[in-house]
A and B are shown apart, each in its own frame.
Chain A
Amino acid sequence: MSLDLPASASAAPAPQADAFDAAFLAERAAEFRDQVARRLSGSLTEEEFRPLRLMNGLYLQLHAYMLRVAIPYGTLSAAQMRALAEVAERWDRGYGHFTTRQNVQFNWIALADAPDILDHLAGAGLHAIQTSGNCIRNVTTDALAGAAADEIADPRPYAELIRQWSTDHPEYLFLPRKFKIAISGAETDRAVTRAHDLGLHLRREGDAIGFRVIVGGGLGRTPRLGSVIRDFLPEADLLPYLEAVLSAYNLAGRRDNKYKARIKITLAEMGETAFREMVETEFARIRPGFPPVDPAHFAAIKARFPAPPAPRAPVPLPPALADFARNLAPHKVAGHVAVTVSLKPHGLPPGDATAAQMRALADLAERYSRGEIRISHDQNVVLPHVAQIDLPALHAGLVAAGLATGNVGLLSDIIACPGLDYCALATARSIPVAQAIATHFRDLGLEAEIGELRLKISGCINACAHHHLGHIGILGLDRAGVESYQVTLGGDAGDAAALGEIAGPGFTSEALIPALERLLRAYLAERAPGERFIDTLRRQGPDRFRAALYAGGDDA
């Protein structure tokens, strides 16, 4: 990549938009149009239509249909971001909501418009296939893939291989329950591989690439961290091994109770040893006859992911941008950083972006990040390849678009699910609670002082916001018609993955914020120099913090 080339001229092509996929997506959009027509004519009953609609990403929510569009491995081109902006504007209420699984959700869709929207998305190489339903879902990965300084290898070619393998796989479209795969390619796990049905952690042994295979993680009503069932699975065994896991699960997973149907329950009920044996037996049976991945095909996949930019002379961050330093991550190439654009401005719904902001991000990506955009697990947007020298100009552009909040990793960088404001499953509101917490601590002027804090708020037990993995997790429940917020402490989504422990009885929405303030003031009083909240909590144990939470009672 030449240093002098104008960035817009080197915009990366959409990695999954080749001719085969283009034709496939067009066919699938036509098929869905036909399914909608057959539902309306009565040929398909509602019960038959439901799994077909879910497989195309269309949920029936509280007020309208919600369309969940996949962003495979979180990688978007500028043109694709503009296509999302157009969906938001033409068919929704002017915004979209980015999720923890690198999808974007449109919350106000008319069923009759869905085929047109899918056509429009297919034109940009985007789709909603397998973003819902009891099938293999969108494969997620590290938002910093291809850029992170601590990367072992770019995980996206493997994620794309798995996407292709799992797309419309005839055997695995009607599994006992949904199946989520995440893959991490760096030393630090930024893809939450231990909280997925199947997690892959890329490793290198000498010259060989392989994967640590983790199965049976998941949150929801039975949170569980995944178990390592293979420590080093050679690269060439990846697909047959996935086949072995999936076909074993398809047969052995429970179908009598949807709350016990995830693979984490299959594994827990069978026991790790028996489960591993079942998978390995099937693997041994199919491995010899399993056709290898065509090397030319895999080379073509790899070629879709451009190499990182050429090194530039390092430039120190101007003092005026000191607060923005939190949004910057180290890059593998000198003179560059990966910039996280926070979608968590204080007081607004976490993870939302307006059509205008999506277009601004597309423009800025073209100008300063080779046209590449990522969606992070934390519901933020990442511009992965920014030259340090361009930071002041990029920052100015972000300020103009209302996207320059410098709060990445802080208390207000909250993960929240849509909650009772949108979701048919929710038992409590989550977005308004997130907004109230963010503005409260900003107004106290304590946010920067508190430092890194991972706060996650789910509006029901299904745990879409991963509250079990928050340093502080909040779960909104319904207690006899009143919202009650249960606090968990000590969760961690990173390398030291841990499930938080419930602190005690839930709080009313009014009592929650004072309780959190007492908790965090206790941390400020107890912390040793340089300690984050989670570090102090681990060192001291939860008693001191539980006492602070409940010093005002649970409804005071």
Chain B
Amino acid sequence: MNENVIVRDDGFHADDWTGAMFEIDPAAEIDLDAALAAPLVRVAFAAMTDGRGFTIARRLRAAGFTGRLRALGPLVSDQYRHARKTGFDEIEIPPALAARQPEAEWLRAAARSRRDHRSLIHGLDATRK
């Protein structure tokens, strides 16, 4: 594998996107209007420890973004639920990471319960997203 891998709830995929893509670099100024109008927004994570993308995703969804939302970077499978809960649809990971953390790990992460205290607080169904 030397292509990035797209991870979704049902496992690994090759990148099948051919349309326009709006790129967000958390370190730069974000053109919110342009992002909202894009069919796919890709938010870069410089490192797994740089959580700015999670806030950006949540804010985009709150602002009404309904397109496809992709995280790009070296996130690990343990962060899959955080990405999904903040509004990402998928994660694009580098090939070396996909080789070291095979699909089975991501599938397990995707199947893991998304038990959520915040849903409980607001009186919503707390067991699933």
Contact = CB atoms under 8 A, between A and B. Distances in A.
A172 B55 CA distance: 8
What DSSP secondary structure best describes chain B's contact surface? helix
Contacts of A43: 100-102, 105
B118 A169 contact: yes
A259 interface: no
A20 B112 contact: no
Contact of B120 (A20, A173, A174): A20
Contacts, number: 98
Given A38-B105, A134-B49, A294 B86 contact: no
Contacts of A296: 123
A164 B101 CA distance: 31
A143 to B, nearest CB: 25
A251 B26 contact: yes
A165 B112 contact: no
Interface in B86-120: 86, 100-102, 105, 108, 112-113, 115-118, 120
B124 interface: yes
Most B CB atoms within 10 A — which of A24, A169, A171, A286? A171
A292 B76 contact: no
B62 A286 contact: yes
B49 A174 contact: yes
A234 interface: no
Contact of B86 (A20, A171, A175, A285): A171
- Chain A contact patch, size range: 35 or more
B14 to A, nearest CB: 22
B55 A24 contact: no
Interface string A1-35: 00000000000000000001001100100010011
B76 A164 contact: no
Contacts of B115: 20, 23-24, 27
Contacts of B51: 171-175, 250
Interface stretch (B1-9, B15-23, B36-44, B77-85): B77-85
Interface of B: 26, 48-52, 54-56, 58-59, 62, 76, 78-79, 81-83, 85-86, 100-102, 105, 108, 112-113, 115-118, 120-124, 126
Q: Which 6 A-B pairs have the closest CB atoms?
A: A174-B51, A294-B123, A170-B82, A170-B85, A291-B122, A164-B117
Interface of A: 20, 23-24, 27, 31, 34-35, 38, 42-45, 48, 51-52, 134, 161, 164-165, 167-175, 239, 247, 250-251, 255, 285-286, 289, 291-294, 296-297
